[in-house]
Structure 1
């Protein structure tokens, strides 16, 4: 008789498909020669037939399932009884005797065939879900493979950029060295030539004086009119030679240096951006984003002019509004410092912003009102906050609405209003619906998203500052950089859009002293109120 192969299960154990020969029992075998599906009984008969006794049979279930299939229709407690029902409460199949013995009183029961159908559907769902997860894993593996390749390529690229940056700085240092050496050599040449000329002059005058001495010695002892006339003439010649004092030694040149710590060198060289890759974080939170070198920003102060003002908001390409808190009025000046117009107010301006329409929106110093100043200098109140709040900072959003910071001794919030003054929303802390902060101190920068949720804060951590971090004004440029004026440290910080420090835009080395107001004009130039020097600096770096 032909041997029956019993491989691992290739179809569900309790299949509803009936034998193609008897059409009564469930299939368990397949004849590879006849390509027929049959139950165990028909399989035995098939192999006993002379015509098919050598046919190859394949068992469609595993050996373990084969044994289970042989006994699954009989009750385990009453081995002679067929299974008729399935107890949903106990999750077991039961027979007639199980029901009669009331072992499962008041339990939920269904026919065994219905349970098999249900379990068959569940099994199909499990297979589908498992396949979906398997496909998802394949996608993740592809993403990881791609990310590894991109990461390695970018690391190699960044290493190349780092070497290039190092070479660039070395070239610039070599140029500085060459320039200093050239200056020193020129200085040495000029000094040597000057000393040589002085030496030649002294040697010649010494020779002339020696000749005069010999002439005087030849007349010494004579007591006549000729000697008297000689003395009169020789005195005139001696007076020609000025008395030469010992020349002061010229101070030799020195190279004046200062210690540069590692952090300053890193700031000069650049920073590595090692932020997380959101795509991979979403999948496995496994890899980091490709590192990129942040280039050092080259800064150029293109102009400046004298001014007592501390606040600035640009109005056009070459014009800006300047004022000091606590003073009544705002001056419109050019980039050369010429005052074009002075807008007088009967209140003190705290902060101001220019809308896209050219209208000016201001907050009153010590007041709770937002005022609008039109291009024709018509001043109107558009929004007044109640409950003893005071209006502080003000800005215009990309959608043209106005954001105003309001505070009192217990609370700080932001309101968004239309240019007409209509209230749109109030931004509180969305986590606990409480105040964003208490009285706004100048000690840190808190960045919110559009929904008012906190993204990050910046307190100049690791910046080795001489004084406490004292942010006064914050603006952003077209590249997403965050620019912060640090009053007590006389520096302007530059951060990327995620709050990572890049470098100081200007510092005391650039003549920065107590910066306050900041704003960009349409040329991308930054106007800085340099209050310590009482001037406005206009900077180009983009």
Structure 2
């Protein structure tokens, strides 16, 4: 314990160390009792001691000492010279005609500027740097994985070459064996013929010798010599040996035939990163009026569609809504009258996986099987994105006009979110800062939306969670449902949307309700006013909620917040 404080934490004089502190010297930063003030004042007469009541300590400013006039304090400030000045400096010709201000005024302005700049550093710049660092880390992790895949591809290609070379070697060796066997058979046949003649010669020689050595002259006259036949020697057969003529290995040619790497590089864009606050759209940057959730949400309208089983909804305006079911047609309905305004079929005839409305009022849809993202302008379908090795699922249009698409690899073993500006890929979000997948890898339902704070929210049916990352792709949280739930079933997320208060709303197919969570993942409440297998969600500018239900043809308009 400090010896100058008591059990009651009463401060004691720095000089006598016994009496209670009552005064304070702002010049020397010393705590004093009343009795010690005089002693302190004469302890160092070179200083201009500013003694004040203890509760008013640090109230007396410590002016800078003038560099040109001994002991003079600089109470003024020369704006022209950008330097503090004392009264003698101001009176001299040195600052003649210069703009002079009181130093306290300049200090207040400087302090205000510093505080403003520090606020910007703490609230905008440093968090942005954190996001940039996270983005770089994600890119490093992604590079590790992608270069690993690249090495694997090269190894596989090498193995393919080895297999083909092994096949070629085996084929050539088989040809060698075939040629050898043919030539051996020819020589063997020739040898057999020679051996036959040799046998005939031996037999004939034996008969002739017997005739010559006998006294029976008739046998001698019966001998017939075939020597003229044996004088014609057998034809000499010399096989021509096949030769292997290897092609000279040309390393450069071999490299080109095998494959090469594309040129690698870094692109550096000075203005590629921007502060969070400056990236928000005017709509996102303005603060919406604060609204409170209703204790009891209510269904205020029911819109009948011509579908048998309605899947998705997307708000075009306060009076019009796009819909989609399990066929290749998207239909626009008038909300108040329930009348069909427009019907458009997909270009491929496939069922669109997801629909969304852009900030310009155009309809966007994803074609999972055709691997395309399409936009409908003036009732004409334009292909915006065509994917290779990936299939698009959920899509949304951002406040900046970009498209966010969540997609699966062809083998359904990878899932990622990609940001597009037109057809140009700007950003890929797939892994957390530890290199682990953010999203479930497998065939399941996935939808996506952007929140007002620019967070990217994905309802991931495979993970049984809502996965939320910030604009840089850094994981903020995963929401896995709330218990008790209306039906006490596991969380089964489907459609997802947000509102003016940055609430995240997700349809729960198992529990026949909609979850409302705030932007940081905290559960707020359920909307379960008679819903049955809710699937698609969207909100209009007035925070009306529209819900489509999997086994019904109706869109329900729900009021769940107090309107301003």
TM-score, with normalisation over the residues of structure 1? Answer: 0.44
Task: Give TM-score scaled by structure 2 length.
Answer: 0.42
Q: Which has the higher contact order (CA 8 A, sep 6+)?
A: 2
